[in-house]
Amino acid sequence: MPRIAETLFALGAGLVALAPWQTGWAETFSLQKASFEAVVLTDNLDHPWGMAFLPDGRMLVSEREGRLRMVSAQGELSDPLSGLPEVFDQGQGGLLDVALHPDFAANGLVYFTYSQPDGDGARTALARGRLDGMSLRDVETIFAAGNLASGGRHFGSRIVFAPDCTIYMTAGERGDARQAQNLKTQNGTVIRLNDDGSVPPNNPFVGPTGTPPTTYTFGHRNPQGMAVHPITGEVWVHEHGPQGGDEINLLKPGANYGWPIVTFGKSYAGFPIGEGTSKPGMEPPLHHWTPSIAPSGMAFYTGDAFPAWKGNLFVGSLKFAYLARLELDGARVISEERLLEDEFGRVRDVRQGPDGLLYILTDESDGSLVRLQPTGG
């Protein structure tokens, strides 16, 4: 039996059915442009962080404490997969995002980010392994960012594959705002890699620049949402501001996104930060939220299940526990609608599934995986 077929067969064998009351509970919502059901597939996840869809419709879901689980389309939850490395499970650190290689059907490669312990501190790292039944085999850390620090703040940690199969990965500034402008570190950066962790030759800082050649952009605070535009192929990213100034940005090679020199936010003590909201040579955001919504997760909707949502951008809010639906005119946000406000908890991630439906994860100790489907779907 081929390796991938063996994997999918074994996944089915490793699933544990949930009690009936935990699976399939639904609530109907009628909003501006669509009516939908929110179906709770499971609420037995412990602070889930990221998800990725396998070819047969099952999902890999990461839990921050260090577990990677499999969830079926019906909400059956597996035991944790084996083979993952030790994680720094403190504060915002732990096992974070997860993604499949674009050629997963042939190579079985799963990529994940985590806070890698090192002495008394940790850094943001990227690893990959080959899915084999209920295990990850040949796991290797292919990149570790230079944002080593103590404490559990600001790891960033979203990953996406671009159309050219390069990986974009976010690294937070670890709570040290000044380091986001230090080009010798990778605090507060977006990193671009080949799929084996090597440096793409057309990265903006390749050569004798004194900047790590894996750095793609800098001047970020704590980016926890990233998505590839389905038409342009451009990478969009959002990041947490302090009190206000959460930003959506369009990535440009070598660009400086300003933190902490320019921001729409204020310090938690209420004082101004930096030099204002704009400065020559620093990229302005496409959109910002003030007050802060604490954004996490981001997805462009391209499916047919919700025609009125096609081309919209979806972003989770941790602070206000909702899913934001943003209508766009090119790269400009023209309207925003709040979905599921205070219904399920802090929205950590949002993804479009291969079925054209939307899925969200809630960052709670009894975290949920919720599927949004047309009414009666």
Give 111-165 pLDDT, tens digit per residue: 999 999 999 999 999 999 999 999 999 999 999 999 999 999 999 999 999 999 9
CA–CA separation, 77 and 15 (whole Å)? 6
Phi and psi torsions of 307, nearest 5°:
-55, -35
- What pLDDT was estimated at residue 26? 80
Average confidence (pLDDT) over 297-314: 97
User: Is 12 a residue whose pLDDT tops 80?
Assistant: no
Measured CA distances, 274 to 18, 221, 307 (Å): 51, 13, 43
- What pLDDT was estimated at residue 312? 98
For 311, residues 6+ apart whose C-beta sits below 8 A from its C-beta are: 300, 301, 302, 327, 328
- What pLDDT was estimated at residue 335? 97
- What pLDDT was estimated at residue 31? 85
User: Is 373 a residue whose pLDDT tops 80?
Assistant: yes
Measured CA distances, 137 to 79, 98, 130 (Å): 17, 15, 5
What 3-state class would DSSP assign to 10?
Answer: helix
From the candidates 47, 101, 154, 238, which is the catalytic residue? 154
Q: Of all residues in the chain, what percent carry a pLDDT higher than 90?
A: 89
Listing DSSP states for 11-53 in one string gives HHHTEEPPPGGGSSEEEEEE-SS-EEEEEEEEEEESSEEEEEE
User: Is 16 a residue whose pLDDT tops 80?
Assistant: no
Average confidence (pLDDT) over 24-35: 83
Proportion of the chain in helix, strand, coil states, percent, rounded to 5? 5, 45, 50
Question: 376 pLDDT band (50/70/90 cuts)?
Answer: low
175: amino acid identity, one letter:
G
CA–CA separation, 101 and 104 (whole Å)? 5
What 3-state class would DSSP assign to 189?
Answer: strand
Range of lowest pLDDT (1-10, 89-98, 100-109, 220-229): 1-10
Q: What is the DSSP letter of 6?
A: H
Alpha helical stretches, state H, the chain: 3-13, 104-107
User: Is 27 a residue whose pLDDT tops 90?
Assistant: no
Average confidence (pLDDT) over 170-192: 97
User: Is 25 a residue whose pLDDT tops 80?
Assistant: no
pLDDT in tens, 64-93: 999 999 999 999 999 999 999 999 999 999
Structure tokens at 73: 């389309």
- What pLDDT was estimated at residue 363? 98
Q: How many helices (H) and strands (E) does the chain have?
A: 2, 26
For 232, residues 6+ apart whose C-beta sits below 8 A from its C-beta are: none
Active site residue 287: no
Domains of the chain and any CATH numbers: 3-374 (2.120.10.30)
User: Is 359 a residue whose pLDDT tops 60?
Assistant: yes
Instruction: List strands edge to edge, sheet with 287-289.
Output: 222-228, 235-240, 246-250, 287-289
Question: 21 pLDDT band (50/70/90 cuts)?
Answer: very low
DSSP collapsed to 3 states, 99-118: EECCCHHHHCEEEEEEEEEE
pLDDT in tens, 43-66: 999 999 999 999 999 999 999 999
Give 63-69 contacts, CB < 8 A, sequence gap 24+: 63/94, 63/95, 63/367, 64/89, 64/93, 64/94, 64/95, 64/96, 65/89, 65/94, 65/95, 66/94, 66/95, 66/114, 67/95, 68/95, 68/98, 68/112, 68/136, 69/45
- What pLDDT was estimated at residue 1? 32
CA–CA separation, 290 and 288 (whole Å)? 7
Instruction: Give per-residue burial for 130-147: e unless 16+ CB within 10 Å, then b.
Output: bbbbbbbeebeebbbbbb
- What pLDDT was estimated at residue 344? 95
Average confidence (pLDDT) over 209-215: 96
User: Is 13 a residue whose pLDDT tops 60?
Assistant: no
Closest CA to 193 of 180, 221, 212, 220: 212
CA dihedral over 257, 110, 299, 167, signed as positive or negative: positive
